[in-house]
Chains A and B, each alone.
Chain A
C-alpha cells in the first residue's frame, strides 16, 4: 500500500460525478456501505477495482474513487475474473443487479461459483429491471405484480441463495440496503474471505416495485421488522472442518432451508461459508511461481522461445 495512513471513507469519495439514482433508491445505501467497507478494509483507492454490470447498479463505480470498469449486461463476473487473475494484488469488487446476475448472467453466476476466484460479488436485488422501467426480474415471485407490470408473473423466481449453494460459492450472505451497519460488516467479511463471496442485497426500488418497499421490510403491516439477523438466533453457517462432508451437507441444508424463509421473517447475514481452494490456488498448484507473482509481473514479452521451437525440430 502506497499511502502511509489508513484510508478513510472520504478517500473513496467522488466529487466530479453524482449519482442519478431515484430518491429513496437502495443503491445509495449500498454505495455508502461499499465506501465504508473499503475504508475499514484498509485498502488504498488505487489498489481497488470495482467492476459492474449494466443497470442502475452498474453505475456504482462512477461514484466511488477506485479503479472502475462499468462493463456489459450480465458479464460482470467474467470481467472481474479476468481483472483479479491478471493482478492478484487488486481488491476486486463485482457489482450488479438481480437481472444482471441471475438472468442474463445466470450461466456465469453458476460457473463463477465453481471457479472460486478471490473477489466479492454484490447483487442489488430489487425484483425488477429498473432502468428499462420495471419489468419482472428473475427474483420476482410467481403471481406477483408490481405496478409497472401489466400482468402478474407466471414463472417462478430463482432462489439466488440455493443457486449459489449448488454452484459452489464459498461465502453466501444476504444483506439489506437499508441496514447500513450490518451491510458494511458483511461486505468487509466478504472481502476478507478467500474465494468468491456473494452478498445478495435486498433493496427497494421506490419507483417500480410497490411490493418490496421500505415499509414492507419494516413490517408496518405485521407490527415488526421482517428482516432479522441470523447471528442473533445462534445460526452458524460456517463450515469449521472443510474436510468433513457431513458438516458440509448439514450446513448447506441449513442454508437452503433458510433461503426459503420469506414472508413475515426474512433472514439476514452469512448463510454459508467454507474455506476451499481458490482458482488461484489451483493455478499455483500447476505453477508455484504464481503464488508470489501476479500475471502482470510474471510475463516476459520478447522472451527467448527457441527452446520451444527446438522441440519441433
Chain B
C-alpha cells in the first residue's frame, strides 16, 4: 500500500450536511495535488436516513474505494453503530468495525460516545463539543451566537479536527468554503475559518504529542486536476458533441445530469426539457433527431422501460440518434433506487419488440463516460440508430480526479447528409438501399428532400409497404448496419485488454467494474507474483464476437466479474462466442465492488463459482 493511501468516511443522516462537508474536503484534497476517489451511499430519502461518503486519497490514480476506514467523521451514533440490531433486518451495521486499528473517529460530544462505551479500544476517539466550538468562534468575531444562524457551521468542526489528525493545513479548506458561499454570505467566511481553527486546536489538544498514525501530504508540484462526477462529465460531453436538445423525467440517479445541464442553458447552446414521463422524453428526442438536431435523453432502468417503444421507433425510422444515457440502478421495478447495479445489460440489448439495430456502449470510468458519450452522437448520426450509453449509479455519483475529460480533438462525424439532387429528376429516397448500407439523410427544411418515414415497414421512399421482397430488402439493410459498425468502429474503442498480455488470470468485465478491477490488479501485482489482466468490453451491441473469442481462447484462466445476479455479460459471451466462463464473481447487493473485494477474488486459489455477497456496513 502506498504510504499516502488514505480512506476517510463522512457519515450521518441525510440533510445534515454530509454532502457539503464531503464535497469541501474532497476538493481540498484534490487542490492539494492528491488523487481522489469518492463514492457515496444514500437511501431513497430526503431527510434522516443514513448517508455516507468514502473519500479516498492517494499519490497515484485511484478509481475505487477500499473497505477499511482510517478516519471516520460521524455526525450521529447510527454512523458508528448502525441501526437497531433487533429489527428483522438491521438496516445497516454501522461503520465502527470498518475503522482500522489505530484509526480515528471524530464525533460530536453531544452524541454521548466516550472511550469507555465506544466498544473499541484500538481506535482514537475525538469526541468534541461542536456547538461550543462554533459558539467560541462566533463570539471571537464579536457576534452573539444564534443557533438558527450559526449551527450550520458545526459541519466545519469535524473537518478542522480531521486536518489536525492528518497534519493537513486547515487553511487549504477555507478557499473551498468561500467558493461555495454566495456573494451575500461571504461575510461568513472568516467565521468559518475561525470554526475550523478552533476545531483544529480542540482536536490537537486531545491528540497531544502522540499525534496520529496517518498524515495527508500535499503534492503541490502536481498539475491542476479536475475533481468531477460522472454525471457532470457526461453533461459536458453532450455539450462538446453539439447536443442541443436534452429531455428527461426526474429519476435517480440520472436526473443530476439533466439538472446540471439545465443550469448551463443560459450560456451554452442547449435546451433542456423536463417532460411528463420517459415516453415523452424519448419521443421528443427522436423527433428532434429527425429534425436535424443532436438530441439526447438520460434515465435509469424504470424510465428506460418506458422508452422501449421509442427505441424501436427510432431504429425503424432510421433516426440519427438519439443518445440515451442509461444510469443503471438496482432493479427490478423500483428496486434499489439509489444503489448501483449492472442489471440492465440484457434489457439494453433488446429494449423493444421486433428485431432492429442499435448501439450499446458501456464506458468504464469518468473519462470514458465523457468520450464515449461524444462518440455516441457520431455513431447515431453515421449509422442512423439510437445509441445507449450504459452507465450506472457508480459512474453518476462517484467523483474522480482527472487531468481533463479527453474530449478535445475527438472527431465530429455527421454521417452522410443528402445535399440535393443536381437534376432533381429522382425523388429523394430516405431509406435508399446503398452500397455503404446507410442512406444519406435529408435534414427537414432542405428543398427537394421532402420525405415521409414511418414506424410501419416501409419502402425506400418511406411508404408503408408489406411486400415480401421489400421487407427482406429493408430488414437486411437495417440489420446489416450492425456489421458495418463492427467493421468501422476502431477496435480500441470496442474493448481493451488492460495489463499483461500473458496473464495467469483474465478478468472479463464491462462498464464501471473496470475501476475496482484496475486498482485491484495494481495492488495484487505489487503484493504477489500473480499476473492479471482485464478484458473490458465496451461495445456490447454490435458485439465484437470474433475478437473477444480470440482473446478468451488464449487466456490461461478466465473470471467473469459483474454487478448482477445472472452474469449477463457471461450469457452474452456464451451466446456470441460459444464460450462459457465458469468462474464468476457476481455481486447484486446494490453496492459497487471495492478494490479489496476484487483483490480477494483474484487471490483465491480455488475457482469461485458462488456469488460474492459481501456484507457492507451500509
Q: Which residues of A contact B (CB under 8 A)?
A: 2-3, 16-17, 44-47, 49-51, 54, 59, 61-62, 65-72, 75, 78-87, 89-90, 107-108, 110-111, 283, 286-287, 289-290, 293, 295-296, 298-306, 308-310, 312-313
Contact = CB atoms under 8 A, between A and B. Distances in A.
Q: Which 10 A-B pairs have the closest CB atoms?
A: A82-B287, A301-B242, A68-B452, A78-B283, A70-B454, A79-B287, A86-B291, A82-B284, A82-B288, A299-B244
Interface string B249-291: 0000000000000001111111101011101101111111111
A296 B445 CA distance: 11
Contacts of B290: 69, 79, 82-83
Interface in B111-137: none
A289 B265 CA distance: 11
Given A296-B291, A296-B292, A85 B226 contact: no
B231 to A, nearest CB: 12
20 contacts: A46-B444, A46-B447, A61-B452, A69-B452, A70-B453, A70-B456, A70-B464, A71-B455, A72-B309, A83-B291, A85-B271, A111-B275, A296-B244, A296-B292, A299-B242, A299-B269, A305-B236, A305-B239, A308-B268, A312-B228
A298 B446 contact: no
Contacts of A75: 279-280, 283, 309-310, 313
Contacts of A283: 265, 271
B240 interface: yes
B271 A68 contact: no
A308 B268 CA distance: 10
Given A82-B288, A303-B242, A296 B293 contact: yes
B611 interface: no
Contacts of A295: 244-245, 269, 271, 288, 293
B299 interface: no
Interface stretch (B355-363, B405-413, B554-562): B405-413
Interface in B435-492: 443-456, 461-464
B201 interface: no
Contact of A62 (B242, B427, B443, B454): B454
Given A71-B313, A304-B408, 12 more contacts: A46-B449, A70-B464, A79-B283, A82-B283, A83-B444, A87-B293, A107-B276, A111-B276, A286-B266, A295-B271, A295-B293, A298-B244
A46 B450 contact: yes
A86 B293 contact: yes
Nearest to B242: A301
Contacts of A286: 265-266
A11 to B, nearest CB: 10
A197 B506 CA distance: 61
Contacts of B408: 304, 306
A82 B284 CA distance: 4
Nearest to B223: A313
Contact of B450 (A17, A65, A79): A65
Interface of B: 224-228, 232, 236, 239-245, 247, 264-271, 273, 275-277, 279-280, 282-295, 309-310, 313, 317, 377, 404-405, 407-408, 410, 412, 414, 427, 443-456, 461-464
Nearest to B283: A78
Given A59-B464, A62-B463, A111-B276, A299 B293 contact: yes
A85 B447 contact: no
Contacts of A309: 226, 228, 236, 404-405
A303 B463 contact: no
Nearest to A80: B287
Contact of A16 (B232, B273, B287, B461): B461
B270 to A, nearest CB: 8
B310 A67 contact: no
A72 B244 contact: no
B324 to A, nearest CB: 14
A307 to B, nearest CB: 9
Given A16-B427, A62-B452, A299-B244, A51 B287 contact: yes
Contacts of A107: 276-277, 280
Contacts of B266: 286-287
A82 B454 contact: no
A86 B295 contact: yes
A46 B448 contact: yes
B265 A287 contact: yes
A81 B443 contact: no
Contact of B444 (A17, A49, A59, A298): A49
Contact of B269 (A3, A49, A86, A289): A289
Nearest to A2: B447
Contacts of B285: 82
